[in-house]
Amino acid sequence: MDQWTEQTAAAKTWFEALRDRICAAFEEIEREAGSDAAFEFTTWQREEEGNENPGGGTRGLMKGKVFEKVGVNVSTVHGTFAPQFAESINGASIESPDFTATGISLVAHMANPHVPAVHMNTRFLTTQTAWFGGGADLNPPIPYEEDTAEFHAAFRAACARHNPTYYDRFSKWAEEYFFIPHRNVSRGVGGIFYDHLECTDGLAFERNFAFTRDVGEAFLDVFPKLVRRRMGMAWDAADKQQQLEWRGRYAEFNLVYDRGTLFGLKTGGNVDAILMSLPPEASWT
């Protein structure tokens, strides 16, 4: 893993810079709505017996007038996987369980049911190999075709700048991944999901890092536009109930199927940061 130390540091620096820009953009929307809400940041350190440098991260959380609850987390952690979990991770094994992971993870739950919730994350991991993964998906309680089309168009353009096959592959992957089997429904209206973009050498790292940066830029460009489009719309009790029931489905996916949740819990991450993806309020009928 030592060969990737410089690359891990570069990815970490960019993820933290993206976090700062996203938080600033979201706080600006709150100001436009007449709110003084701001992100509160809490740092945490990972603990692992016998590991002098396990790393940690920062949880950013804001509860405002537009963003009922939004978390933007960054973390960089180092250590060894538990034996059984190691076998499920690309490039790791019981014999070679060491890893380093750095990434950004974001989930926004909105006050107005007409404003879509959203998820985005990008990450760089090293085991006996190294790779990028990530994606973003839109989760509207009340879908609008215009919003769905614009969200997908932003990521289609980002993909097209790097590989003509990426959007078709990664949007299909998102459709399959962000699905709730026990409900037989999709979590939202899709986006892109990718994993194991392997960095076999320095050129591959730069190529995949450039794509991952474009994914972050696409998110930062398109999502605030959708929020501003919908945040002033009137809503009623029926709209809110629809949102709360949809949030229940969202919580089910994140607790039962989401790989990021499992990875964080299995590697000694901060529980509050990991579970920041859960909505502040939900309903089951």
Angle at the Cα of 151 from the Cα atoms of 210 and 245, rounded to 5 degrees: 125
Neighbouring CB atoms inside 10 A of 233's CB total 12
> Among residues 78, 109, 114, 119, which one is catalytic?
119
The token pair that represents 53 in the structure block: 């440098």
Bigger pLDDT: 54 or 142? 142
Asked if 129 contacts 107 with a C-beta cutoff of 8 angstroms, the reply is no
Q: What is the DSSP string of 130-152?
A: EEEEEEEEEE-SS--HHHHHHHH
**Per-residue pLDDT, 33:** 98
Using a 10 angstrom Cβ sphere, with 0-12 exposed, 13-18 middle and 19 or more buried, the burial of residue 168 is exposed
Q: In which residue are the tokens 């509207």 written? A: 140
Task: Indicate the SS3 state at residue 107.
Answer: strand
The domain spans of the chain are: 2-277
In this predicted structure, the answer to whether residue 267 has a pLDDT above a threshold of 80 is no
In this predicted structure, the answer to whether residue 103 has a pLDDT above a threshold of 80 is yes
Rounded to two decimals, what is the model's pTM? 0.93
CA distance linking residue 128 with residue 154, whole number of Å: 33
Asked if 241 contacts 46 with a C-beta cutoff of 8 angstroms, the reply is no
Does 109 qualify as catalytic in the annotation?
Answer: no
In this predicted structure, the answer to whether residue 92 has a pLDDT above a threshold of 70 is no
Average model confidence (pLDDT) across the chain: 93
The secondary structure element, H or E, covering residue 190 is: strand 190-198
Given pLDDT bands bounded at 50, 70 and 90, which one contains residue 1?
Answer: very low
The secondary structure element, H or E, covering residue 239 is: helix 237-256
The string of pLDDT tens digits covering residues 210-256 is 999 999 999 999 999 999 999 999 999 999 999 999 999 999 999 99
CA distance linking residue 142 with residue 70, whole number of Å: 19
Domain covering 2-277: architecture: 3-Layer(aba) Sandwich (3.40)
Bigger pLDDT: 275 or 263? 275
DSSP one-letter code for 3? G
The string of pLDDT tens digits covering residues 22-37 is 999 999 999 999 999 9
CA distance linking residue 257 with residue 221, whole number of Å: 28
